[in-house]
Chains A and B, each alone.
Chain A
Amino acid sequence: MKLVLKNGYVFDPINGIDGEKMDIFIEDGRIVEEVKGEAEVIDCSGMVVMPGGVEIHSHIAGGKVNTARLMRPEDHLRNVSPRTAITRSVCGYSTPSTFLTGYAYSKLGYTTAFTAALPPLMARHTHEELHDIPMLDKGALTVMGNNWLVMRYLSEGRIEHACAYVAWLLRATKGYAIKAVNPGGSEAWGWGRDVRSLSDRVPHFDITPREIISGLMEINERLSLPHSLHLHPNNLGRVGNVSTTLETLELTREVKPSRERQVLQLTHAQFHSYGGDSWRNFSSAAESIAEAVNSSDRLVLDMGQVVFGDTTTMTADGPMEYYLSSLTGLKWANKDIELETAPGVTPFVYSEKSPVSGVQWAIGLELALLVREPMKVMLTTDHPNGAPFFTYPKIIGWLMSARSRERVLNSLHPQAQRNTVLGSLDREYTFQEICWVTRAAQAKSLGLENKGHLGAGADADVAVYPVNPEETDPSREYEKVERAFSATAYTVKAGEVVVRNGEVVRVVSGRTLYVDARVDGELEREVLADVDYYFKRFYSVNLANYPVQEVYLTSPQAVKVDAGVR
């Protein structure tokens, strides 16, 4: 299968190509230098050509996603669409069905997506859901920040055992990276409590959030995993949480990266950049977070942008979701994941009239505009927590146009205008920078060598957007840009055209990536004896039923890492 994408304006920042008119050659699912002989030619004249989008943090599969679907039948009234000859019937907005998730991402030009939180005990279910998401290559971030064995090994100073356990857990859950959510806090929630600072002690474990975070970063680098630690810090959504976040970012100074990448991804940074000391003087602290990222080569962040409207919040941060539902009085669900984590779910409405929502909206954009290097920023909404991913084109419009931001800012509560700096920022993203924050930075951060760029050997995942960068002024014509990014002219997945003019024309299944990290066999045997004991003593399932076999994954692709941990 050969394909030529002819004469488009190509944006490929990893390879230093910035809007050059050129052809992209594809053969057997890969980008190649050129193709010989018969090939399908697609005319991309006057259009933007980018690598396929890479989603790094989106709640698209897992126990709480399904809980949210059960909890929000009213959300299923949105995006209702009957089946076609090739696509399934779909529905949902903040809790879209698996099929819609795949189709909709593909229409936005995305070809890869990582689900933000995979609790190990829910791994089989999560992979079954990922199996049902078409169009995308997928991966999952395994949640470990409140895991009993991780906390025990770390508190006992047995770092090699912790490494061996983490490596085994990644393989058992077919996960791609280490995710930590409110480290120590979700465990404390099992006792009706939370942790509010890095120095609080986790009930019944001789450990603090600080030690868990530092420990997980050290494990990550000892194992030399492709991605860094992916961290949802403590105190999400709390007024004045910036001090906790900055203290957390400081911990990266002590960690030596094992690869050319950051040692920490601060995820949905917007929710962790709050100043003030009460909801009345709630303010943006984006400047100090951006400064921390600017002055470090070990940090990246994703935005966690808020877009006004009705959505569903879901995280493995049980105490936070309870706190939020007690503020709104709306329905709430809690899931207990035994020795591992405790997610919660509750709907939320971000209102333009609310000073708090207004500040939240501004913070995400401030972070993206204040962090100087676009390779350190990733566009996310923490789908669906800040907003469903359907809103990405709107966010691209805001990033590219100060005018479009100003329009929204002027309609907000005066307090939101006063307590943010967004109005003073005139930076406007270029197409190249958009390419960084929607795919290239993600691929770098995740250590995906074949994604996020269009060099020879890369996966032939390409998005072609119907907008002419030479004839369009995004600053003024932001609506046109938004339209272009809402529906690709072509999405190419593994060398096949899957979307044409915003319509899915071919349904493909994609692959599932996971990390297979190996450690010394003797060490692993010792760890498995402990695992066995924990299962017999505490878990409600049998150890034999716990690890997920490859058969549960669509086209599994193991990323092998010889961790060298002895």
Chain B
Amino acid sequence: MLEPVSQPECGLVAEVVSCDVFAGRSRKEIEELEVYAGNRRRKLGDFFSVSGSAADSPEETRIVIAGSVERTKWIGRGMSAGEIVVEGSTGMYTGAWMKGGRIVVKGSVDSFAGMMMDGGELVVQGDAGDYLGCAYRGEWRGMRGGSIVVHGNAGSEAGHCLSGGRVTVKGRAESFAGVRMHSGLLVLGSAERRVGAQMTGGSIVVLAETELLPSFELIERVTSPEIEGVRFEGVFEVYAGDLAERNAKGRVYVKVE
């Protein structure tokens, strides 16, 4: 259990908050873990009061952050197993490069949550910032596996360069959801304009009417389709695109009834 004591003025780089790192470490050792507040090297114990004990393996380790840590970044970076539960909200890059295990954020996450994810599960009960489940800056091969579920809304470019796995936004996604995506599944409760811009593959499901780019072509109308192994109830218009890209094989399913 980590109880937030204070948060630095600028961001706290805390990639050590991960079941892989905590596993097999004593409370004292966990307090001593290195974090950066801006460019200053500090200890995790300076910002969190640590209680309980870690299990021997990451699989059996469960970390609870008992509060909101909106300026703490990189929680669960590269985590391969175990569970992190955040009682409040987190900063940027939550669950980036995650390979396995589960992160549940009861509040909201800031931008870049689930960036380059490879496996595991990220559940956000509030909202997500921009670039949910995106590729690293400059990278064209994005999230490859695992699943992200956001119960609230998401910012711009959710599922940017998505290359596998599943991203679900139950609320509304801002512009450019699924931009440059190559494969995988992106499900949106509703979406602002320009869904799937430059997509070359994979599927986007929008559960409400939305305005598509002119480079998407209506190809058919289907009822209760199974998409990437998931069944969706209702009547959907299926668009192919983004035809501005070479050999584009992407599909956007828009629910119309």
Give me the interface of A with B, judged by CB distance under 8 Å: 71-75, 77, 329-331
Residue A330 contacts which of B135, B140, B245 (CB distance < 8 angstroms)?
B140
With a cutoff of 8 Å between Cβ atoms, the chain A residues found around residue B139 in the complex are 74
Query: Which chain A residue has the least Cβ–Cβ distance from B246?
Result: A329
Instruction: Assess whether A71 is in contact with B245, with CB atoms less than 8 Å apart.
Output: no
Give me the interface of B with A, judged by CB distance under 8 Å: 135-140, 200, 245-246
Instruction: Assess whether B140 is in contact with A331, with CB atoms less than 8 Å apart.
Output: yes
Query: Which chain A residue has the least Cβ–Cβ distance from B247?
Result: A329
Instruction: Assess whether A73 is in contact with B136, with CB atoms less than 8 Å apart.
Output: yes
Residue A74 contacts which of B137, B200, B245, B246 (CB distance < 8 angstroms)?
B137
Q: Give A220 Cβ to nearest chain B Cβ, in Å.
A: 40
Instruction: Assess whether A77 is in contact with B140, with CB atoms less than 8 Å apart.
Output: no
With a cutoff of 8 Å between Cβ atoms, the chain A residues found around residue B245 in the complex are 329
* Tally of contacts, chain A with chain B, CB under 8 A: 17
With a cutoff of 8 Å between Cβ atoms, the chain B residues found around residue A330 in the complex are 140
Rounded to whole angstroms, the CA-CA distance of A485 and B139 in the bound complex is: 31
A-B contact pairs, 9 of them (CB 8 A): A71-B138, A72-B138, A73-B136, A73-B137, A74-B136, A74-B137, A77-B136, A329-B200, A331-B140
With a cutoff of 8 Å between Cβ atoms, the chain B residues found around residue A74 in the complex are 135-139
Rounded to whole angstroms, the CA-CA distance of A77 and B97 in the bound complex is: 12
Rounded to whole angstroms, the CA-CA distance of A73 and B136 in the bound complex is: 8
With a cutoff of 8 Å between Cβ atoms, the chain A residues found around residue B138 in the complex are 71-75
Rounded to whole angstroms, the CA-CA distance of A71 and B138 in the bound complex is: 7
Q: Give A132 Cβ to nearest chain B Cβ, in Å.
A: 22
Rounded to whole angstroms, the CA-CA distance of A329 and B200 in the bound complex is: 10
> Which of B135, B138, B140, B246 has the most A CB atoms < 10 Å from its CB?
B138
Rounded to whole angstroms, the CA-CA distance of A329 and B138 in the bound complex is: 14
Query: Which chain A residue has the least Cβ–Cβ distance from B200?
Result: A329
Q: Give B99 Cβ to nearest chain A Cβ, in Å.
A: 16
With a cutoff of 8 Å between Cβ atoms, the chain B residues found around residue A75 in the complex are 138
Query: Which chain B residue has the least Cβ–Cβ distance from A71?
Result: B138
With a cutoff of 8 Å between Cβ atoms, the chain A residues found around residue B136 in the complex are 73-74, 77
Query: Which chain B residue has the least Cβ–Cβ distance from A326?
Result: B246
Q: Give B143 Cβ to nearest chain A Cβ, in Å.
A: 14
Q: Give B129 Cβ to nearest chain A Cβ, in Å.
A: 19
Rounded to whole angstroms, the CA-CA distance of A406 and B139 in the bound complex is: 33
Q: Give A313 Cβ to nearest chain B Cβ, in Å.
A: 15
Rounded to whole angstroms, the CA-CA distance of A218 and B140 in the bound complex is: 46
Known: A71-B138, A73-B137, A330-B140. 14 other contacts (CB 8 A): A72-B138, A73-B136, A73-B138, A74-B135, A74-B136, A74-B137, A74-B138, A74-B139, A75-B138, A77-B136, A329-B200, A329-B245, A329-B246, A331-B140
With a cutoff of 8 Å between Cβ atoms, the chain A residues found around residue B200 in the complex are 329
Query: Which chain A residue has the least Cβ–Cβ distance from B136?
Result: A74
Query: Which chain B residue has the least Cβ–Cβ distance from A76?
Result: B138
With a cutoff of 8 Å between Cβ atoms, the chain A residues found around residue B137 in the complex are 73-74
Rounded to whole angstroms, the CA-CA distance of A249 and B200 in the bound complex is: 43
Q: Give B98 Cβ to nearest chain A Cβ, in Å.
A: 16
Query: Which chain A residue has the least Cβ–Cβ distance from B97?
Result: A77
Rounded to whole angstroms, the CA-CA distance of A73 and B115 in the bound complex is: 15
Rounded to whole angstroms, the CA-CA distance of A73 and B135 in the bound complex is: 12
